[in-house]
Amino acid sequence: MENSRELHQAEAFIWSRTFNILDSMSLRCAIQLGIPDAIHNHGKPISLTQLIAVLPIHLTKTPFVERLMRVLVHRRFFGLAEEGYVLTDASKLLLKDNPLSLVPFVLGILDPFMIKPSQCLGTWLQNDDPTPFHTAYGTTFYEQVEHDKELARLFNDFMESESGPVVNVLTNKCHEDVFDGVETLVDVGGGTGSVTKAIAATFPNIECTCFDLPHVVADLQGSPNLKFVGGNMFDAVPQANAILLKSILHNWNDEQSLKILESCKEAITIKDNKKKGKVIIIDIVIGKNGFGDEDDDQNYKSIHTQLLYDMQMMVFFASKQRNEKEWSKLFFDAGFRSYKISPIFGLRSIIEVYP
Name the pLDDT band for 294 (thresholds 50, 70, 90).
low
Separation of first and last alpha carbons in the chain? 63
Q: What is the CATH number of the domain that holds 230?
A: 3.40.50.150
Phi, psi of 95 (to 5 degrees): -80, 135
**So what's the pLDDT on residue 174?**
61
Q: What is the pLDDT of residues 206-228, one digit of tens each?
A: 999 999 999 889 989 999 999 99
Residue among 143, 137, 142, 144 nearest 117 (CA)? 137
Q: What is the pLDDT of residues 154-184, one digit of tens each?
A: 988 888 888 888 788 777 756 678 898 899 9
Residue among 236, 204, 245, 242 nearest 223 (CA)? 204
Q: What is the pLDDT of residues 93-113, one digit of tens each?
A: 999 999 899 999 999 999 999
**So what's the pLDDT on residue 290?**
76
Mean pLDDT for the stretch of residues 108-120: 96
Rounded Cα gap, residues 125 and 110, in angstroms: 23
Do 66 and 152 fall into the same domain? Answer: no
Q: Is there a domain that residue 292 lies in?
A: yes
Whether residue 175 lies in the annotated active site: no
What 3-state DSSP class applies to 61?
helix
Q: What is the pLDDT of residues 24-81, one digit of tens each?
A: 999 999 999 999 999 999 999 999 999 999 999 999 999 999 999 999 999 999 999 9
Q: For residues 143 and 169, which has the higher predicted lDDT (pLDDT)?
A: 143
Do 80 and 218 fall into the same domain? Answer: no
- 83: CB partners within 8 A, 6+ apart: 44, 45, 47
Rounded Cα gap, residues 167 and 192, in angstroms: 14
- Longest Cα separation, the chain: 74
**So what's the pLDDT on residue 156?**
86
Do 252 and 346 fall into the same domain? Answer: yes
Q: What does pLDDT average to over the chain?
A: 92
Q: Is there a domain that residue 146 lies in?
A: yes
Give the chain's domain count: 2
Do 151 and 8 fall into the same domain? Answer: no
DSSP track, 131-174: -HHHHHHSS-HHHHHHH-HHHHHHHHHHHHHHHHHHHHHHTSGG
Do 65 and 144 fall into the same domain? Answer: no
How many CB atoms are closer than 10 A to CB 110? 17
Answer whether 191's CB lies under 8 Å from 216's CB: yes
Out of 40, 147, 250, 304, the active site residue is 250
Q: Of 39, 63, 95, which closes a domain? A: 95
Q: For residues 297 and 79, which has the higher predicted lDDT (pLDDT)?
A: 79
**Cα 229–Cα 232–Cα 235 angle in degrees, nearest 5:** 120
How many CB atoms are closer than 10 A to CB 64? 11
Mean pLDDT for the stretch of residues 323-336: 97
Do 90 and 128 fall into the same domain? Answer: no
Q: Is there a domain that residue 252 lies in?
A: yes
Rounded Cα gap, residues 289 and 342, in angstroms: 9
Which residue segment(s) compose the domain that 55 sits in? Answer: 2-95
Rounded Cα gap, residues 189 and 322, in angstroms: 19
Do 263 and 128 fall into the same domain? Answer: yes
**So what's the pLDDT on residue 44?**
97
Do 53 and 139 fall into the same domain? Answer: no
